[in-house]
């Protein structure tokens, strides 16, 4: 073999190796890594017969973060295994939830997250489809929750419980609705009321009365029928955007609180992060403005003793079967996955 051919081969081999590596990297993306790590942990535990032991120590695996307006299928976001690799979990298990447990492990409270409840507009995009639960599906979900013996609470109840001031009923559940769209007041509130349940509605106070958003009258009527109204900022600000000054962020929070007070006489201590985005700076702003609890869009159940300003929720997707809905009532957070 002459030198030139040899060099050319070496170059080709290097190139092929690099391409293969790149392919592996592509296939094994962040989610897949977490996924495989979790699956492997479970296999090992099962093999050692440790799975039945009481969980003791926290493993902090970062759960995938989802934008509030994420694409459909997140957290149902199937992880594609690399070609030739066996799927990490049996196909009937939800790929995004490697740890499913029987519904309501003790002390864990599902906080359901909705956006729209009702009909889709003409030619909806994928995001809108994901954010819209049909009225029929919502009714099925509320009926199931009722049948399973859950008791709907408000976020203020949860606040009292987290602070040790209040007891909660057996099997508490919290329904939350982000953004204050008018369809949830038209379609979801009557169903909740029929079932003697309450819900918590996060209002973007600067958008109240605009097209598609409920007006102050509707909000007052909801308040009078036992619904809870909480802050979701004044203009749906992304608080992690560096373009915004601390003063502006503070005003978004303080003005939202003041609007609820001025229009509805509500002093809300509950906040819902727009897009689910948060950081230490906004947490401090919330504390400064007298907020006790804040909800993210991170997936999981709430437990007493958790960081009150970064509480997880369970997203309810526009296209979701009732079995998935039921299973999600009992799914633990990634962060709460424990092992010895």
Which of these ranges, 39-47, 66-74, 240-248, 325-333, lies near Zn ion under the rule CB under 5 A? 66-74
- The CB-of-15 to Zn ion minimum distance in angstroms stands at 47
- Residue whose C-beta lies closest to Zn ion: 178
Per-residue x/- marks for Zn ion, 80-119, CB under 5 A?
----------------------------------------
- The CB-of-179 to Zn ion minimum distance in angstroms stands at 4
Asked if residue 137 binds Zn ion (CB under 5 A), the reply is no
Residues 260-289 that bind Zn ion (CB under 5 A): 274
- The CB-of-294 to Zn ion minimum distance in angstroms stands at 13
Q: Can you tell me which of 130, 141, 157, 179 binds Zn ion, judged by CB under 5 A?
A: 179
Which of these ranges, 13-21, 65-73, 166-174, 213-221, lies near Zn ion under the rule CB under 5 A? 65-73
Q: Which is nearer to Zn ion, 176 or 250 (CB)?
A: 176
**Residue 22 tokens, joined:** 């790149």
- The CB-of-127 to Zn ion minimum distance in angstroms stands at 12
Long-range pairs, 252-259, Cβ under 8 A, ≥24: 253/282, 253/285, 253/286, 253/289, 253/291, 254/289, 255/205, 255/206, 256/203, 256/204, 256/205, 256/206, 256/231, 256/232, 257/231, 257/289, 257/290, 257/291, 259/205, 259/206, 259/208, 259/234
Q: Which is nearer to Zn ion, 80 or 210 (CB)?
A: 210
Asked if residue 234 binds Zn ion (CB under 5 A), the reply is no
Asked if residue 178 binds Zn ion (CB under 5 A), the reply is yes
Q: Which is nearer to Zn ion, 88 or 180 (CB)?
A: 180
- The CB-of-181 to Zn ion minimum distance in angstroms stands at 10
Which of these ranges, 39-47, 68-76, 116-124, 155-163, lies near Zn ion under the rule CB under 5 A? 68-76
- The CB-of-274 to Zn ion minimum distance in angstroms stands at 5
Q: Judge contact between 199 and 188, C-beta under 8 A.
A: yes
Q: Which is nearer to Zn ion, 152 or 256 (CB)?
A: 256
Q: Which is nearer to Zn ion, 178 or 238 (CB)?
A: 178
Determine the size of the site formed for Zn ion (CB under 5 A).
4
Q: At what angle do helices 246-264 and 280-288 cross, to 10 degrees?
A: 40
Q: Which is nearer to Zn ion, 274 or 300 (CB)?
A: 274
Q: Which is nearer to Zn ion, 178 or 234 (CB)?
A: 178
Please return the burial class of 59, using the count of CB atoms within 10 Å of its CB with bins 0-12, 13-18 and 19+: middle
Which of these ranges, 90-98, 123-131, 176-184, 245-253, lies near Zn ion under the rule CB under 5 A? 176-184
- The CB-of-178 to Zn ion minimum distance in angstroms stands at 4
Q: Which residues bind Zn ion (CB under 5 A)?
A: 68, 178-179, 274
């Amino acid at each position: 073999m002459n030198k030139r051919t040899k060099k050319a081969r070496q170059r080709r081999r290097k190139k092929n190796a690099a391409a293969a590596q790149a392919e592996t990297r592509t296939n094994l993306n962040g989610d897949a890594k977490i996924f495989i790590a979790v699956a492997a942990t479970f296999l090992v535990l099962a093999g050692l017969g440790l799975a039945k032991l009481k969980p003791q120590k926290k493993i902090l695996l970062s759960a995938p973060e989802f934008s509030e307006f994420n694409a459909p299928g997140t957290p149902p976001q199937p992880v594609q295994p690399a070609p030739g690799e066996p799927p990490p979990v049996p196909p009937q298990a939800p790929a995004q939830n490697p740890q499913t447990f029987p519904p309501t492990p003790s002390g864990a409270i599902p906080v359901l997250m909705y956006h729209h409840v009702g009909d889709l507009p003409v030619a909806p995009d994928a995001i809108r489809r994901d954010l819209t639960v049909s009225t029929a599906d919502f009714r099925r979900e509320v009926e199931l929750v009722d049948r399973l013996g859950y008791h709907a609470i408000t976020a203020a109840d949860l606040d009292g419980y987290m602070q040790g001031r209040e007891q909660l009923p057996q099997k508490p559940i919290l329904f939350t609705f982000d953004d204050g769209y008018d369809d949830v007041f038209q379609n979801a509130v009557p169903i909740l009321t029929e079932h003697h349940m309450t819900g918590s509605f996060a209002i973007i106070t600067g958008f109240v009365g605009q097209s598609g958003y409920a007006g102050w009258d509707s909000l007052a009527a909801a308040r009078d029928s036992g619904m809870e109204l909480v802050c979701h900022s004044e203009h749906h600000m992304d608080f992690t955007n560096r373009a915004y000054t601390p003063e502006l962020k503070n005003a978004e929070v303080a003005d939202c609180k003041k609007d609820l007070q001025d229009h509805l006489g509500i002093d809300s201590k509950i906040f819902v992060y727009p897009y689910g985005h948060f950081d230490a700076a906004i947490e401090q702003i919330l504390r400064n403005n007298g907020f006790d609890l804040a909800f993210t869009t991170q997936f999981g159940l709430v437990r007493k003793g958790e960081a009150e300003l970064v509480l997880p929720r369970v997203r309810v997707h526009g296209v979701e079967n009732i079995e998935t809905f039921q299973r999600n009532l009992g799914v633990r957070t990634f962060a709460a996955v424990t092992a010895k």
